[in-house]
Amino acid sequence: MAYDYDLFVIGAGSGGVRAARLAAMTGARVAVAEADRVGGTCVIRGCVPKKFMVYASEFSHGFEDARAFGWNVPAATFDWVKFLARKDDEIARLSGIYTTNLNKAGALLMHGFAAFTGPHTLKVSGPDGSKEITADKILIATGGHVHRPDIDGIEHAITSDEAFHLRTLPKSILIAGGGYIAVEFAGIFAGLGVETTLAYRGDNILRGFDDDVRTHLAGEMEKRGIRIILGAAHAKIEKTDKGLVSHFGDSHPPCPTETVMFATGRRASSGGLNLKAAGVKENPDGTVCVDKFSQTNAPHIWAIGDVTGRLNLTPVAIREAVAFADTVFHDKPTAFDHALVPTAVFSQPPVGTVGVSEATARHLYGKVDIYRAKFRPMKVTFTGGRDQTLMKLVVEEKTQKLVGVHIVGPDAPEMIQLAAVAVKMGCTKAQWDDTCALHPTAAEELVTMREKYVPNEVAGRN
């Protein structure tokens, strides 16, 4: 059978666009369907606009620092509307680059929502009506979307989707959740002068991260005026004349704020794709089942990125796209290695981490050596501030390999990108230490930690 396309990609986010371009560059006939703007979560309503908001909010601390360094900074004011317009221009520019790159590679962009009608057939419904297409191979790269838990009054809460477009900044906000998005937006709003409360149902923020990182970050966020309420699960959100009130059952008193934002996780965007028509299997949480080559149970259909729920990070989706193109269009079977992927939380201060936490390392390897430094960076000592940086190395005792590097402090994401090179190469602590320090930096602390750290509670266990 002659198909309309050699490859049909559903979703023009970071993963879908990369795969479509790489496939089209081999001469394959490629089309991509996108129901929204080109760029996906990362560019349109995720990493990119979030980072602009982090930059905007960090200036408030920057002005204080500048005064301490001798600058006469008059009382600074922030123009949210002006910032939003500039941010939206930049997002439109980036989305345009994605579209241009698709065109340049020779891939056709179709505006519309694609759903399977059979194993090789899809219906694309867009502003100009719907169209049936056929494709030899199909790639699902539809990403994820915000999830709102089913509680009373949830319709009054915003999510990160709306936080990027608020008409005015609220005077106060309560953010529910303790993951990436919750801590990042808590820092953003607090930095922009919004009275900020973070309410998390668990015993500490950032579950899954190293415990020292979690405790240290929570402390630093509190120093910046963010109120953190732990063990607080929403029972309901009440709307009153004065704003919203978050109720937590008997565990905490009600908390009134102007705005409530839910950052309680995302779900795979697989609903509506009619995967059944193509016989593609899903997991119970809606993620698409794939093997290490991103191939589904239907041999001509693949899935990459957040819709597979493996590791929901933009660079991972891109690497899965490259591996897909190598496997399918270059006859070079490639499986992306999901181990030792560095990650950053753009909280204030930010977190950078690669490898495993101390607790996971003890579980995996038994005995581990821990190196830890906590200090005020020189800029902070000059301004008389209280912010502290945390650096921690986790080393497997037997092999002396670095299995985890964790940093909380200014530029942590930049540092961890390079630390990840060494960790991924299987660097030992001795090799790490062999690298001469670079002075004066905060990063030099990383290669000058000689004394093992034995906290009281683990002394005798290690």
- Residues in the site for ligand NDP, rule: CB under 6 A? 149, 176-182, 184, 200-202, 207, 233, 263-266, 312-313, 343-346
CB of 303 to ligand NDP, least distance (A): 17
Phi, psi of 207 (to 5 degrees): -55, 140
Contact call for residues 199 and 251 (beta carbons, < 8 A): no
d(CA 442, CA 411): 9
By beta-carbon proximity to ligand NDP, the closer residue of 177 and 191 is: 177
By beta-carbon proximity to ligand NDP, the closer residue of 123 and 247 is: 247
**Nearest Cα to Cα of residue 37 among 16, 22, 8, 68:** 16
d(CA 346, CA 235): 29
By beta-carbon proximity to ligand NDP, the closer residue of 164 and 432 is: 164
By beta-carbon proximity to ligand NDP, the closer residue of 329 and 346 is: 346
Contact call for residues 19 and 131 (beta carbons, < 8 A): no
CB of 232 to ligand NDP, least distance (A): 9
CB of 260 to ligand NDP, least distance (A): 12
CB of 39 to ligand NDP, least distance (A): 16
Block residue for tokens 């430094």: 373
Contact call for residues 40 and 12 (beta carbons, < 8 A): yes
Which of 61, 216, 363, 439 is labelled catalytic?
439
User: Is 174 strand, coil or helix?
Assistant: strand
**Residue 120 falls in the annotated catalytic set:** no
Which residues are registered as beta bridge partners of 259?
173
Contact call for residues 175 and 255 (beta carbons, < 8 A): no
d(CA 323, CA 332): 9
d(CA 390, CA 86): 34
By beta-carbon proximity to ligand NDP, the closer residue of 244 and 373 is: 244
Q: How many other C-beta atoms can be found within 10 angstroms of the C-beta atom of residue 272?
A: 11
By beta-carbon proximity to ligand NDP, the closer residue of 200 and 324 is: 200
> ∠ CA(112), CA(330), CA(102), 5° rounding?
30
CB of 436 to ligand NDP, least distance (A): 31
Catalytic residues, which ones? 439
